[in-house]
Structures are given as C-alpha cells and as structure tokens.
Chains A and B, each alone.
Chain A
Amino acid sequence: MTTTTEKRFDNAQEIIKYIDALKAKKEKKLQKKSIYVCVGTGCTASGSRKVYAKFVDVIKQKGLDVAIEKIDDDDEPVKRTGCCGLCSLGPLVKVMPSGITYSHVTVDDVEEIVEKTLVNGESIERLLLTDPISHQKVERLEDATFFKNQTFYIMNEIGKSECESIEDYMARGGYLSLAKVLSMDRKEIIEIIKASGLRGRGGGGFPTGLKWEAAYNSKGDIKYIVCNADEGDPGAFMNRTLLERDPHSVLEGMIIAAYAIGAQEGYAYIRAEYPIAVEMFNKAIESAKEYGLLGDNILGTDFSLDIHVKEGAGAFVCGEETALLSSIEGKRGTPRPRPPFPAQAGLWGKPTLINNVETYGNVAKILRDGVESYRTRGVQKSPGTKMFSVTGPLNLTGIIEVQFGTTLRYILENICGGTSNGRRIKAIQIGGPSGACLPEELFDLPLDYDTLKSVGAMVGSGGIVAITDDRCMVEVARFFLDFTKRESCGKCVPCREGTMQAYNILEKFTQGKATYEDLETLEYVSEIVRTASLCGLGKTAPNPIVSTLKYFKEEYIEHIEGKCPSGMCTAFKKYIISPEKCKSCSLCARSCPNGAISGERGKPYVIDQDKCVKCGLCVTKCKFGAIELVG
C-alpha cells in the first residue's frame, strides 16, 4: 500500500501522467484471470457478499491467489464491482479474461466456477443468462441482444469496474477532466456545458448550463454545491445504481461544477435507505481527498472544496430541491416558494447549485470527450443518454441506458424482451408516481423531454412501469395517488387537501360507488392541484389521473356503470355458490371469517353479499369447486 503523502498530487500534469499509467495497468488487469462479483444493493440482497467471500476462500484454498500473477499489491484475484443494472438476475459474477457472466450465482456454485471457468476457461451452461430477446443462453453480457441494443455512456465497463477503487476510475479516464478544467476559465466551462445541451436528469429537464450560469452569476463569497440523490420514486433506482457502481463519476462532476460556479462546500443528499451508495460515496470522498482531488488546494491550485454526505430521512418531498435544502439545514423538509431560486438564495440563503446524480455523472465525460461526442447520442433538444429503471411483467427488468429519442416500443421489445406473462402491454407509466400513463398508440413516440411533455408526461427521474391489460387503469391511478397523498408534505392547501380528495374519489371508483358527478369533481380537483400547488410534486401529483382520464376514460365510465373492464377491482366481483355443485357440507360456512355464508343441511349454501369481504377463503376450502368468482 502506498501511504497518504505519496498519493497526493499537487500538480495537474503529474496526475495526467499517472492516469495514463493506470490505463495501461487496467488493460493488463483485464487480460488476466480474475473474478468480478457485483456488490450493488440488488445483488447484495440476493447474497452476493457471501458469494464474494466464498470466492476469496476457495481461491486461497486452492493457492490461486499466489499462482495468479499480480500486477500490483492491490490486485486481488476477486474484485467487487458495482451494480450492473440487472438486479433481478443477481448475484452476478463475471470471469475475466473471457468475460463469461453468470447470473443467480449461489455459494454452492463457487467451486465449480473457479475450477471450470477461472482455471480452464469453460463456461457453465446452467448459470449463463438467457437473452430475453433471442431466448438463447449467452456467455458474455456484451453478446446479449438486450445489451447491444442499449447505448452506454455513463454506465461504461459494466461488470468489470472496481466500484471502490479511485485508481480504477482513473484508469477509465476519471479525473482527467478535473485536471483539465482547473486551468480553464470558469465561464468557458459553463459555456461547454451549455453547448452540450445537457439537461437536468432529476425530472424537469432544465438546461444544466443555464443553472450553472445562474449560480455563477449570483454574487456571494460563499456558495454551495449540492447533489440531489434523494431518489424517492418507488421502483426507480438509477441514482442508486450510478452511485454504487461509479461514485467517482458523480463526485468528479460535483467538483467540476463547484469550481465552475465558485463554491467552497458541497453536500450529497443521499437517502438513508441506500446504505451501500452512502458507503461508496463516503469512500469516494475519502480517496479523492487522499489524492489531492478534494479538500484544500485541489491539485495545487487555490481552489478548495469540502463535500459532505447528508443522509435523507425518507421523505419523498425532499427530492424537491428547496425541500432538500431545508432538510440539509436541519429544518422540516418542506418546499419554499420560488423565486428566489436556489441559484440566488439556496442553502442558508447562499447561492447554491443543485443537480441530480445522473446530471453530475455526465459532466466529466462531456468535458473529457467533448461536446460533439456527447451530441452524437440523443436528439437535438435532448442530447445524450438516460438511465431508466424498467419494471413490470417483462422478461427483463432493471436499469437500462438508452439515448434520448429511443421509442418506448424499442425499450419494451428490443431491450426488455416483451411481457413475461403473455399479455398485451396496454400502457406504460413513465416518470415516477407523478408521471403519466401512456397508451399503446404512443409507444412509438421518441422518448425525450419535449415530446413527453407534449403528451402530458415527463421523463421524470426515469421510471418506466409496464402495465399489461389485466391491470385496471383506475386502480393504477389510485395506487399512485395513494403514494403522493401520503408523501405530500402538507404545506400547501391544493396538494395536502386535494390529493386526499382525489384519492377518496378514486377509491370510490375502485369500490364501485362512483357517479358521473365524481368524475367531474375528479377532473376539477386535478386541475386545482395541478395549477395551484406550491412545488413541482404537487403540480405533477394529478398526472396519473389526468393521463388516465385522457387516454383511458372509458375505464372510468365502465366503473361508474358497474364494471371493472380488467377484472381487477374486486368490489365489482362476487363469490357465488353454484346450487348444482354445492353438497351443503358447510365447510365454507365454517371457514368464512366474517360469517357471510349460511345454509342448512340438504340445501345449497348461500353467500350474503353484504357481509362478504371477498377474501376468497371459501373457494380454497370447497372440495367440490362449487364457489366461483363472477363479475
């Protein structure tokens, strides 16, 4: 191990040389035998850390740790890599130099992998992953269709980066941009970001360069830089993935941004439910300090920056920038009216630049590889790529990265391999709980900020939920409103009271109690919440209602008329006992938790519909298949 003093660089030229040396070393590393185990949250949850430990044990036992030639002292044969985005397939293991990738690896598979794959280079058929599109087993991730169909920009070197190692990040060209920009004029950096057309990845898609410029132009000796990593959308974990797999890319983006606007202190606001991301980011901060890339006099210049991690306490609204700032200040996390914008008066009233994790993740690469290269991906007004988390009954779910302008249909079919339950996808919900539901007719629209906005949807943080035709759209709206209602901070009237009213009305729909008047009131209240709410969360909270009313209104009307077209809302169904099949054994009546079934010997039993809670227990008890669900 080198010591702290040896690692510190006081000069940009020296670190650039050092990075070149590391690049060569990394190439060599990838050419030799080694194993990369994913230790991201998804794989950890399915046991990857035990798998990792087992690999270390087995390799030691077999003496391979000595046998495999080391490039340097830190070069262990088993390495921890960050999230690959394929969490449902975890734990994932990649064996180098062949690149053979295994999914669902258990501790019991370890010996076999070491013997067959690591030592002999053979692949193990049963552990290979199945390409959701070709349905063929594939050896290497890079060979899979779903992988080839994505456009990786910020998620590079999937499965073969070492998430905890700053040197690995540098070997991939990391911190070159920082070394470069420190000798540049601040305005010049901002101009490059403006020219790149990078837009905020947190939801609104505000041009990042303009945000930087505003923060730069704000007068003040003290300025702050903040990273918004309070990713609260249910089922969305792009930010977590990025922080876990490549924390330095985000950190470098923050340091560059801080330099550009003239900030001396920064905060990464990461939700506490992401312990691994917090750990990775803290480690990244520590190692950046050791290398003189953070702290006092960065790379020997007079630019100093300190960055702290602030763990969020779990409120969804703290993802809203002004609420987030209040939370960092130790206050109740509620939004403040804007203006003033954070760029004018943010943290503790000082000019503050706040960007999303993924936005920062793009910065260093744009500055390193240039605006042109960045703009080769995506479309004119939404250049670059976007990470999406895709969930729903699809053959492949998880994190994907595509360029803007890709269609939904392409994602659903060419990356995710269509539905896994054989049903038709009738809608997708995009943009988190306050996103919109889009019908199949719109699946061919290019995904970018402006096109989505034009159909009443938004990119949001990048959650995509596939909804198949067995799902009820009213229930979907109710589900999301339940979330926004509970996560409303309670400050402004329209959001606090309006989401509650809207939720109650939606519940009336799913319970079969709604009227045409309710439909009108639902539209009315949605309009109030959308127009009059204080913050972005309130303003977008009715989106699930507005979009389902726009594209799936007939489902609402059918609910009023007494039917749930998808058959999902149980309130419209009833259990009945077929008089022909009933043998009056009384088993159902005895099992009913609510005493809804009665009858007497020799006669068919009957269910009192008013008492029935539709739990379905009687169906499981009946030995004659006499009870069925109708409606």
Chain B
Amino acid sequence: MKINVNGKQVEIKDDAKNIMEALREIGIEIPNLCYLSETSVYGACRMCLVEVDGKEIVTSCTLAPREGMSIRTHTPKIYEMRKGILQLLLASHDGDCTTCEMNGKCKLQRYARDFGLTTNRFATVSKKTITDNSSIIVRDNAKCILCGDCVRACEELQTVSAIDFAYRGFDTQVVPSFEEKIENTECVFCGQCVAYCPTGALAIRNDVDKVYKAIEDGKYVIGMIAPAVRASLQEEFGLEDDIAMAGRMVSVLKMIGFKKVFDVAFSADLVAYEEAHEFLERLEKNERLPQFTSCCPGWVKFAEQYYPEYVPHLSSVKSPQMALGAVIKKYYAKEIGVAEDIILVSVMPCTAKKFEAEREEFNGDVDIVLTTRELVKVFKSTGMDIKMVEPEPFDRPFGLSSQSGLSFGKTGGVLGSVIEVIADKAAVKNVNTKQISEGTNLTEIELENGRIVRGIAVFGLGNVRKVVDKLKNGELQADVVEVMACNYGCIGGGGQPYPNDVRTRARRASILRETQSVDVLISPTENFHMRQLYEKYFGAPLSHEAHETLHTEYKHRRRIQQEEIDILPLPTDDEEKIEISVCLGTSCYTKGSYEILEKLIALSNNEEWAKNLEIKGTFCLENCGKAPNVLINDRIVGEATIEKIKEVALSEIREKQGDTEISKSNL
C-alpha cells in the first residue's frame, strides 16, 4: 500500500499492524516508550504522536494504515509535545543516571539527549516509591515511567502476572499484589520484565563483587559459560559476529584470575545423552509421557506452580548448569584435590539460573551465577580490548562439545540433541519438523520399527501454557516436549544485553548456528570426554550413580498449603469413608460455604448413608470464581449446594461399593 510520509510517497506492507511498525520497516523509528511489538498496544506514553492528513494528532501505535493517508512524523507541534512529555516524565524521575544500571542503555536518557534537553521547565516532584531487593529481580520504582512493558511482558507473553499496576493517578506504581515482595510471588524469574524495561526500574541482582571476593580470598575459581552467551557478547563491543568469542572469554577470565573455564555446552551433551535414555525408558514403559525437558528453570517453576500434575513428567535430569556443577564438585574437585576451595561461577544468558543455583535441591553446587550483562561489566571494567585478546580453548575435560550441545542456547536445541542421541541408539527413518502455532514446532520422528515419536519444542510461557493445556485436554499429542521460557530460547534470556528485542534475538540465533557449524562433533554421543565420564563414574546412563549425581526431583508449589481442620472425624475404616472438605476461605465463606458446612454436619448426624462422611474445613481450593467450593475425595465441586454435594457423594459411594442399591428414598 502507498502512503505519504513527510511529503514523500512510500510503499508500506499491506499487513502492517500499525503506522509505527510500518514506518519502522522503512527506516523511521517514531519515538516511543511503551511499544512492544509482541504484546498488545498500550498507548500510554504518547510519544509516538503523528499528524494524520494535516488535521488530527494521534498515536502511531494505534493508527491503522490506510491507502493514500498522509502522515507527518515530526512537525514543530509534535516535536514540542514530545519534548513536553519527556520533561514531564523527567520531573518525577530519579535522574541519578551515573549510578543507574541502565546508564547508557536507557531509552528515556537517550531521548532526553536526542531532544537536547538541558533544563526542565517543570519543577521536580517527588513520588512515593517502592524498592524491592528481595530476589534476583530488583525493582526501584523511582526510575519507573509506568510504560507497563514489564506488566504486559509478564501477563501477555509469559502469562504469569506476578506484577501489575496499583494505586491511581500520580501515585500509580507497578508492584506485585498487596505490595508483596517479588520473592513471595509467582514470579518465575525469567527476567523478561527486565529485558523490556526501557529504564533502570528493573534490574538483575549484580553478583560481580562476589566473584572478585572469591578470587581475592584465594579460592579456586572455576568458570563455566553457557552456549547463548557467546552469541550476544559481541553486541556490547560493537563487533560483528565472532565465532572465536568463546575463546576470548576464556582468555579474559583466566587473566582476571579464574583457574579453569569450562563449557556448559559440554554438560548440555551430558544432559541430552542422559535425558534421551530417560525418555527411551519411559517410552518403552509408556509412563510419565509426555516427558518435559527441565533445562529451563523458569519453566520448571512455572510447571511446579500451574501444572503440578505434570511435575512427575519433567525430566529428572538436572539442567546443564546444575549437572556440570554436580560433576565438578563431586568428582573433579577430588581429582584435582581442592574440594573445599572451589568456587564455581557460571555465566548465563538467564536470570532464572540465579534462582536455580539457589534451589535447595542442588546443595549450592554452583556458587555464583553471572548473567551476560554482568560479564560485560567485568570485561569492560578491565579495559581490555576484547578483539585483541587471543582466544584460548576451554579447559579439559569439560571443554569439548558437539553441535547439539551448543544448540541448547536456542529453541529446539534440547529436543534436537535428544533426537540425535535417539538416532544413535535406535535407527531413525525420518525426521520432519513443522510449525504448528506461534512459537511451537512439532517434530515427528519415525523410528525404524514404524513407531512415530512426536516431539514439540515451544518457547515463551504464554505459548507454553497453550500447548500444555492442549496436551492436558487431548487436543494435542506428544511424547516429548522441550520448553524454553523466553522467546527464541536462551538467546533471548532476561540476562542478555540490551536491546533484547525480536530482531536482536533472531541475529543471535544465526550467530549461534554459525558457531555450531564449525564444530566437528555432531551428536552428544560423539563427545569423547562425556563418554569418559560414563566410563569412569556412571557406568551406564540411568545407573544408580548417574541418578545420584545427575538427577533430581521437583516439587509442587501450591500457593496455599493444604491446611485442614477436622470437623467430623469419624473413626471409620478408610475403605468406606468419603472425605468432604468445605472451603472456608473468604470467597467461599461470603458465598455461603459456612451454611453448607452446617447442613453437612446435620446431614451426617441425621441420615444413615451419610455416616461415613469425613467432614473437614479447608482454606482456598484456588477456584474462587466458582465459590463456594467443596472437595469430595479428589473432585472439586464448584458452586456447591447441599444437593450437589449429596449427588456427588452418593456417586462416590456407588463407585466405591460398586453397587447401586442406595435408592433415592434414602435421601
């Protein structure tokens, strides 16, 4: 379609979502502070105003392209509006840029510079602000411009909704509900909120000082670097892609004082190898399928919270970070004889990896996790020109990796690696991959015996939720599912450099592919050092020792622990009894659950068949929309009435006794 922009005829895409995106394609980035192409349009910053057909001034993010329309993107009036909006924002913004995490990367700072603001005609107004240092995601609302990018990333992309707006007008703030600390919310620490925050209101806890302290204290500091890090580091140094980047990182870390630097891609091979065997075993026994990957700690927490029924389906193999951590602390430390003094530092594209390292299941095997951005700070502060640093190989024995191991850094990588291993073990006739929905690929693997194994690779927790729901209701079938919480996988992790947008992520994926392509090893099975680990310690995949070291267990994370009060505990034998728990939480109580409880007690006292009811009070079955709720054995009865309860209880009794003799007259 043709439109007129600033007096010139231009051709834009017919299917452009809005004028903002259409003009971005032709080289005009209209200033904006609240536009995320992946989420719904918010339209709140009002920076992207344009003039349409010489009359109206409207936001280009909400403006639908129309053949022949005439747009002016930069009239004196619009320039003045944007300058005014910036000054309004700055008047209540913590302008202490030098000590801000986003110094030099901040969009607000950039616009202030671009618009040449040297003074602010508005008086400074102070805001009541909230800070939260409780978790690895650090919030300082004094720097928040309320663009809502974090809220939409969390709600729409990740469907977690750990944060939202609270309060009104000038007092508006982004916080978890009831101003709870992030650590106590359902946040999965994917860090996508941080990735999209245009200012320094959201940041990742900085652990760089801990590394220096460990070196200072004379610890045996070992580094390990994740695949995705080497595909993004060059962005920060103004370099084109550099397949020697991993080697340069090793060099710099050694110069700083790291004793050894290993490659997490090595343990990716290890994990893929072990996990493929785990999968084949489950496939053979036809149990706990589909098997979900568990390399992504954001996804693991997500599953623990929202899909507890699938927690047993998670691969019990640890993530590459934790697997290598265990191997180093358990075997390698002994081999080199420095057990007590090892400090293991992993460098990750991921914010949730910090959370994972602190999970109690892993006994602190990994001591410090740095994100890519923290590593950049370490490197920049050395003053070394990374281009001129001579690359150095990863240390043995955990330095070798296959193409598969490296591919863990992006979507499809883990599934691909598992398929490679399967191909090495069982003959595979055909592999066919197609995209089935947004962020979701389906791979069909035809085995020699004719069996077709269905594997799904899905990224972005919002897409994940859709896939898992479909698996649950049978709309979709799969045997193995790879899940990565962030869009495009680890390369789009919350700890990666800014900007962390779609275009940048696509670029990283291609760099990672290029880096992989020069690797001579294709499948994890070919990883000689990994095989040696099996020979020396584990024996075979899924052996007892392998389980001890490489496997773990995950847990349910119900928001509210089941706390029950016995109301009518009757000493009946377990065969007979029907457990009825009446929710007495606020929602259910206001909808009359207490009356139901009273009626139930009366019922149990007065009617013969109801003698075997074990009545309990409980708190929140997390089904408040359908209050009052009652749990009968394992069945939740929503919008419960005493009649409904009777009906379900009776059918439970019938099922138990397998007899239908209890006639209606007994009611």
B57 at the interface (CB under 8 A from A): yes
Residues of chain A with a CB closer than 8 A to B208's CB:
none
Q: Is B122 an interface residue (CB 8 A)?
A: yes
Which A463-491 residues sit within 8 Å CB-CB of chain B?
485-491
**Interchain CB contact (< 8 A) of B44 among A487, A492, A531:** A492
Complex contact B125–A496 (CB within 8 A): no
Q: Decide: A525 near B168, CB < 8 A? Known: A501-B122, A501-B123, A501-B125.
A: no
Q: Is A596 an interface residue (CB 8 A)?
A: no
What does the 1/0 interface line of B162-192 toward A look like (CB < 8 Å)? 0011011111100000000000000000000
Kindly state the separation between the CA atoms of A443 and B59 in the bound complex, as whole angstroms. Answer: 37
Asked if B46 CB lies within 8 Å of chain A CBs, one says yes
Cβ–Cβ < 8 Å partners of B165 in chain A: 332, 334, 490
Contact A487 B169 (CB under 8 A): yes
- In the bound complex, residues from chain B placing their C-beta under 8 Å from that of A490 are 146, 165, 167-172
Q: Cβ of A527: which chain B residues have Cβ within 8 Å of it?
A: 84
Q: Is B81 within 8 A of A528, CB to CB?
A: yes
Q: Is the CB of B125 within 8 A of A531?
A: no
On whether A485 and B170 interact (CB within 8 A), knowing A493-B46, A497-B91, A497-B92, the answer reads yes
A504 within 8 A of B: yes
CA distance A338 to B63 in the complex (A): 9
A30 interface residue per 8 A CB criterion? no
Chain B 105-145, CB within 8 Å of chain A: the 1/0 string? 00000000000000001110100000000000000000001
**Residues of chain B within 8 A of A493, CB atoms compared:** 44-47, 85, 88-89, 145-146
**Interface flag for B41 (CB, 8 Å):** yes
Give the CA-CA distance A496 to B46 in the complex, in Å.
12
Alpha-carbon gap, A337 to B40, bound state (A):
11
Supposing A337-B43, A501-B122, A534-B43 touch, asked if A489 and B64 sit within 8 A by C-beta, the answer is: no
Considering the chains assembled together, what is the distance between the CA atoms of A531 and B83 in angstroms?
Answer: 13
Q: Which of B41, B57, B122: most chain A Cβ within 10 A?
A: B122
For B46, what are the chain A residues with a Cβ–Cβ distance below 8 Å? 492-494, 532-534
A498 to B169 Cα, complex, angstroms = 11
B85 pairs with A489, CB closer than 8 A: no
Q: Mark B44-79, 1 if CB is under 8 A from A, else 0.
A: 111101000000010101101000000000000100
Task: Tell me if A521 is interfacial: C-beta within 8 Å of chain B.
Answer: yes
The proximity string for A residues 517-545 relative to B, scoring 1 for CB distances below 8 Å and 0 otherwise, is: 00001001101100111100000000000
- With known contacts A492-B46, A531-B57, A315–B89 Cβ distance under 8 A: no
Contact between A496 and B85 (Cβ–Cβ < 8 Å)?
Answer: no
User: Within the complex, which residue of A339, A485, A500 is in contact with B64, where a contact is CB–CB below 8 Å?
Assistant: A339
User: In the complex where A496-B146, A497-B88, A528-B88 touch, is A315 in contact with B168 (Cβ < 8 A)?
Assistant: yes
Contacts of A337 in B (CB 8 A): 41-43, 59, 61-62
Select from chain B the residue with minimum beta-carbon distance to A338. B62
Which residues between 530 and 564 of chain A lie within 8 Å of chain B, taking CB atoms?
531-534
B269 vs chain A, min Cβ distance (A): 47
Chain A positions within 8 Å of B91 at CB level? 497, 501
Return the CB mask of B26-51 against A: 1 if under 8 Å, else 0: 00000000000000011111110100
For residue A381, CB closer than 8 A to chain B, the reply is: no
| A336 at interface by CB-CB < 8 Å | yes
Scoring B44, B62, B146 by chain A CB atoms within 10 A of each residue's CB, the highest score goes to: B44
Do A491 and B44 touch across chains, with their CB atoms under 8 A apart? yes
Contact (Cβ within 8 A) B88 A501: yes
The reply to whether A532 and B85 form a contact with Cβ atoms under 8 Å apart is: yes
Interface range, B side: 35 or more
A460 to chain B, nearest CB (A): 20
A336 touches B43 (CB 8 A): yes
Which one of B88, B91, B169 has the highest number of Cβ atoms from chain A below 10 Å of its Cβ? Answer: B169
* Distance of A540 from chain B, by nearest CB (Å): 16
Question: Which one of B61, B77, B89 contacts A497 once the chains associate, using CB atoms below 8 Å?
Answer: B89
The reply to whether B170 and A494 form a contact with Cβ atoms under 8 Å apart is: no
A280 to chain B, nearest CB (A): 25
Q: How far is the CA of A110 from the CA of B121 in the complex (A)?
A: 65
Contacts of B146 in A (CB 8 A): 490-491, 493, 496
Give the distance to chain B from A507, nearest Cβ to Cβ, in Å.
11
Of all chain B residues, the one with the shortest Cβ separation from A528 is B84
A496-B170, A497-B89 given as contacts; is B62 within 8 A of A339 (CB)? yes
Chain A residues with CB under 8 Å of B88's CB are: 493-494, 497-498, 501, 525, 528
Among A499, A528, A532, A534, chain B packs the most CB atoms within 10 A around the CB of A532
B344 to chain A, nearest CB (A): 44
Q: Flag B429-456 by CB within 8 Å of A: 1 or 0 each.
A: 0000000000000000000000000000
Residues in A whose Cβ lies below 8 Å from that of B92: 497, 500
Nearest Cβ in chain A — how far from B167, in angstroms?
7
**Chain B residues whose CB sits within 8 angstroms of the CB of A315 once the complex forms:** 168
Contacts of A497 in B (CB 8 A): 88-89, 91-92, 125, 170
A186 to B43, CA, bound (A): 35
Contact of A524 among B44, B45, B84, B171 (CB under 8 A): B84
Could you tell me the distance in whole angstroms from the C-beta of A312 to the nearest C-beta in chain B? 14
Shortest C-beta distance, A338 to chain B (Å), equals 8
In whole angstroms, what is the CA distance A485 to B168 when docked? 10
Q: Is the CB of B41 within 8 A of A521?
A: no
User: How many Å lie between the Cα of A315 and that of B172 in the bound state?
Assistant: 14
Residues in A whose Cβ lies below 8 Å from that of B84: 494, 524-525, 527-528, 532
Which residues of A lie under 8 Å from residue B125 when comparing CB positions?
Answer: 497, 500-501, 504
A525 and B85 contact, CB distance less than 8 A = no
Complex: how many Å from CA A337 to CA B172?
A: 19
- Tell me the minimal C-beta distance from B76 to chain A in angstroms: 13
Give every chain A residue within 8 A of B43 (Cβ-Cβ). 336-337, 492, 534
Roughly how many angstroms separate A501 CA and B47 CA in the complex, as a whole number?
Answer: 18
Tell me the complex Cα distance, A496–B146, Å: 10
| Nearest-CB residue, chain A, relative to B122 | A501
Question: Do the beta carbons of B168 and A532 come within 8 Å of each other?
Answer: no
Residues 276-320 of A, flagged 1 when their CB comes within 8 A of B and 0 if not, give: 000000000000000000000000000000000000000100000
A66 to B43, CA, bound (A): 67
Measured between beta carbons, the chain B residues less than 8 angstroms from A504 are 123, 125
With A521-B121, A532-B81 in contact, is A486–B169 under 8 Å at CB?
A: yes
Query: Given known contacts A339-B64, A493-B88, A497-B88, is B57 in contact with A488 (CB within 8 Å)?
Result: no
Q: Which chain B residues border A534 with CB–CB below 8 Å?
A: 43-44, 46
Report chain A residues within 8 Å CB of B85: 493-494, 528, 532
Residues of A within 8 A of B42 (CB): 337
A496, B122: Cβ atoms closer than 8 Å:
no
**Pair A521/B168 contact, Cβ less than 8 Å:** no
In contact, B169 and A485 (Cβ under 8 angstroms): yes
CB distance from B350 to the nearest CB of A (A): 31
* A325 vs chain B, min Cβ distance (A): 15
CB distance from A310 to the nearest CB of B (A): 16
- Give min CB distance, B145 to chain A, whole Å: 8
- Contact assessment for A332 and B169 in the assembled complex, using a CB-CB cutoff below 8 Å: no
Chain B, range 563-577, C-beta contacts under 8 Å to A:
none
Q: Distance in Å from the Cβ of A495 to the closest Cβ of chain B?
A: 8
- CB-CB under 8 A from B121, the residues of chain A are 521, 524
The minimal Cβ–Cβ distance linking A336 to chain B, given in whole angstroms, is 7
How far apart are the CA atoms of A542 and B45 in the complex, in Å? 18
Nearest chain A residue, comparing its CB with the CB of B165: A332
Alpha-carbon distance A315/B167, docked complex (angstroms):
11
Question: Chain A residues near B123 (CB, 8 Å)?
Answer: 501, 504
Given contacts A485-B169, A501-B123, 14 further A-B contacts (CB under 8 A): A332-B165, A337-B59, A486-B169, A487-B169, A488-B169, A491-B172, A493-B88, A493-B145, A493-B146, A494-B88, A496-B169, A521-B121, A528-B85, A531-B81
The 7 closest A-B pairs by CB, nearest first: A490-B172, A337-B43, A497-B88, A488-B169, A528-B84, A337-B62, A532-B46
Q: Name 24 A/B residue pairs within 8 A (Cβ), A-sorted.
A: A337-B59, A337-B61, A339-B64, A486-B169, A488-B169, A490-B168, A490-B169, A491-B44, A492-B44, A492-B45, A493-B45, A493-B46, A496-B146, A497-B88, A497-B89, A497-B92, A497-B170, A524-B121, A525-B84, A525-B122, A527-B84, A531-B77, A532-B49, A532-B85
